[in-house]
């Protein structure tokens, strides 16, 4: 082989090796580049902010009240009187003072009373004869007098039992409540059986959920009374603090959370059971710092607010004043224009 041919072969081989080296690199797997995680913009907190302002604030009671008789007779037995014999009235009945509205079973009580009356009459006759025969100072006469006194005491006791078996109306009125008790049922002491109401004397009664809901209400406070589309002036004439004590638990519980309102100039179509909307302003102040109640925070007896200070929150202790249904007065700690962060 000539030198010239050998030179060409070596040159071709060198070119081939160079190309193989270059193409061989492309056959190897290419490692994926590690990609940085995408940048996530932090979620910006949305704050509900209120700017403290000066305004009037009013604390008031709003509700629906019902007209009831100002003269009501709650009838109940003061002792366990046995089984009910009859209930003589129903809702809406007109009752006169002295009418018997209910009677309990007395068994043979009336017979015992009559027998006792006869025994006393006989004792009287015997006593008269004894005095005539032996004189008023004779010991046998004194014994007969004692026997007659004892018989009279027994008669009085029997008559009291008979009296207690009858439930008697003490006023003229209309029956507004009748217990569901049936003849033959045991009658419990102090359980309301019948309620009578005088329709000629009416007051407006507002009953709250609890006595705390009536805080701040005092005697003679003005009341705005709305009946249909008209308003009438009213006055508070009884609060839980001024209600007379009652031995009837039902009445006492009701008085503990009720107001009695006197209304002037009522229309003729208002009757027992009619309803009216009432408004009683218990506190009010003008031109004071006011914020929503959602802005006032409390913890362990501490009252404070959170204010927006630039981009951050700042807690400030405050002194609250009037607390109304949706707003609260701030007496110290907050200035007009400060941005109060409301609780969600």
Specify the pLDDT at position 282.
93
Query: Up-side HSE of residue 13: CA atoms within 13 Å toward CB?
Result: 6
Per-residue model confidence (pLDDT) at position 295: 94
How much is the mean pLDDT over the chain? Answer: 85
Rounded CA separation 288/57 (Å)? 8
33 DSSP assignment: P
Q: Give the angle 230-232-238 at the CA atoms, nearest 5°.
A: 140
Mode of pairing for the β-strands spanning 258-263 and 202-207 = antiparallel
What six digits make up the tokens of 34? Answer: 């590690």
Which stretches in the chain have pLDDT values below 70?
1-37, 40-45, 81
Q: 55 with 290: CB under 8 angstroms?
A: yes
- State the alpha helices, DSSP H only, in 194-275: 249-255
Q: How many Å separate Cα 156 from the centre of its chain?
A: 46
- pLDDT at res. 33: 54
Q: Are 50 and 336 in contact (CB under 8 A)?
A: no
Q: What is the pLDDT of residues 272-326, one digit of tens each?
A: 889 999 999 999 999 999 999 999 999 999 999 999 988 889 999 999 999 998 9
DSSP state of 37: P
- Extract the tokens encoding 16: 């081939």
Q: Which of 277, 212, 266 is nearest to 239 (CA)?
A: 212
| Chain centre to alpha carbon of residue 100 | 35
Residue-level pLDDT at 27: 46
pLDDT value for 7: 58
Give the DSSP H or E segment for 145: helix 139-164
Identify the structural domains of the chain with CATH numbers, from first to last: 49-57+287-341 (2.40.420.20), 62-73+199-283 (2.40.30.170), 76-178 (no CATH)
Span between the terminal Cα atoms of the chain, in Å:
98
Pick left, alpha or beta for residue 239 (phi over 0 → left; psi -120 to 50 → alpha; otherwise beta): beta
- Going by C-beta distance under 8 Å and a sequence separation of 6 or more, which residues neighbour residue 108? none
């Amino acid at each position: 082989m000539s030198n010239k041919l050998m030179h060409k072969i070596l040159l071709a081989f060198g070119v081939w090796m160079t190309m193989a080296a270059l193409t061989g690199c492309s056959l190897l797997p290419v490692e994926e580049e590690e990609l940085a995680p995408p940048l996530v913009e932090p979620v910006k907190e949305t704050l509900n902010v209120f700017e403290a302002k000066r305004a009037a604030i009013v604390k008031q009671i709003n509700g629906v009240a019902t007209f009831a008789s100002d003269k009501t007779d709650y009838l109940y037995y003061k002792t366990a009187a046995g089984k009910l014999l009859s209930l003589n009235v129903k809702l809406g009945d007109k009752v006169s003072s002295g009418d018997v509205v209910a009677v309990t079973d007395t068994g043979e009580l009336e017979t015992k009373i009559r027998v006792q009356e006869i025994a006393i009459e006989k004792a009287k006759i015997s006593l008269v004869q004894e005095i005539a025969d032996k004189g008023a100072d004779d010991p046998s006469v004194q014994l007969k007098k004692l026997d007659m006194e004892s018989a009279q005491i027994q008669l009085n006791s029997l008559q009291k039992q008979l009296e207690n078996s009858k439930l008697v109306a003490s006023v003229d009125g209309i029956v507004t409540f009748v217990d569901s008790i049936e003849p033959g049922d045991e009658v419990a002491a102090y359980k309301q059986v019948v309620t009578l109401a005088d329709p000629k004397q009416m007051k407006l009664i507002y009953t709250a959920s609890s006595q705390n809901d009536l805080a701040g209400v005092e005697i003679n406070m003005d009341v705005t009374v709305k009946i249909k589309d008209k308003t009438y002036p009213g006055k508070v004439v009884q609060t839980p603090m001024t209600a007379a004590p009652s031995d009837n638990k039902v009445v006492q519980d009701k008085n503990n959370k009720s107001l009695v309102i006197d209304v002037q100039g009522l229309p003729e179509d208002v009757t027992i059971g009619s309803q009216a909307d009432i408004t009683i302003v218990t506190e009010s102040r003008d031109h004071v710092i006011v914020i929503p109640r959602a802005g006032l925070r409390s913890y362990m007896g501490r009252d404070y607010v959170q204010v927006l200070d630039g981009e951050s929150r700042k807690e400030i202790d405050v002194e609250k004043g009037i607390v109304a249904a949706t707003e609260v007065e701030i007496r110290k700690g907050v200035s007009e224009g400060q941005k109060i962060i409301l609780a969600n």
